[in-house]
Structure 1
């Protein structure tokens, strides 16, 4: 399995095990309860030498909440996801090293009701 896909699959499984409502591929339909987690864009950059492949996978993870007054809850969910990422050191075919995490909490006014939007951009090295 491709490293990016293996990491993506592992994240989905672990996020669901932690009890998060997780979506990927498309945002959930109208009427979905908040908060929810959305695994979004992935990028893989390969490096190679004569004996092995290694590289970097960048993964974006979104959290949405229906109440801008629930910033603490969004922050708590983001922390839980970061802790999950910190603990991910290997999957079936690859070793993983979390290198960077960028966290943002934003106001989201793209719906009729204001939302709170958390964004994690994570960078994993694989070998």
Structure 2
């Protein structure tokens, strides 16, 4: 079965998150009430194909949001470290021992943006790290 570049990249992000904090703390949807912190939410993804065509080849630009939540706004340091660990592993796609990081596509990062901020949208104040990834798949 051929997997699309954006699905493969989602799988890579999920595997990195699992390696960092365990499968029970990784979600591809907003977790239920009572979820343990910290957790990683693999958020929205956008797949934009180039306007030019090369036979049947697909060379998309992929945009991916990753969110890391911690249960206390005073946990800025540990939340930031978890986010930076995620990004560090992500940058080693072809050199790590995580099985899914031997991709079928070549990924070239255009931009990785990291934003750390308090989040007051829940019943208790949280610390949120938002990682925004823009990359090209070949």
State whether TM-score is above 0.5: yes
Give distance in 1, aligned partners of 2:45 and 2:70: 22
Are the counterparts in 1 of residues 16 and 90 from structure 2 also a CA contact under 8 Å?
Answer: no
| Structure 1 unaligned spans of 5+ | none
CA RMSD of aligned residues (A): 1.6
In the TM superposition, structure 1's runs of 4+ consecutive aligned residues that sit over 6 Å from their partners are none
Q: Secondary structure at the match of 2:88?
A: helix
Measured after TM superposition, the shift of residue 44 of structure 1 is 0.8
Q: Return the alpha-carbon distance in structure 2 between the equivalents of residues 117 and 17 of structure 1.
A: 19
Q: What TM-score, normalized to structure 2? A: 0.83
TM, length-normalised to structure 1: 0.90
* Partner of residue 79 from structure 1, selected from 81, 84, 94: 84
Indicate conservation of the 8 Å contact 2:20/2:86, yes or no. no
Residue of structure 1 in register with 2:15 after alignment: 13
Aligned to 1:67: 72
Number of residue pairs aligned between Structure 1 and Structure 2:
126
Match of 2:59 in 1: 54
Of residues 46-55 and 4-13 in structure 1, the stretch that sits farther from structure 2 once superposed is 46-55
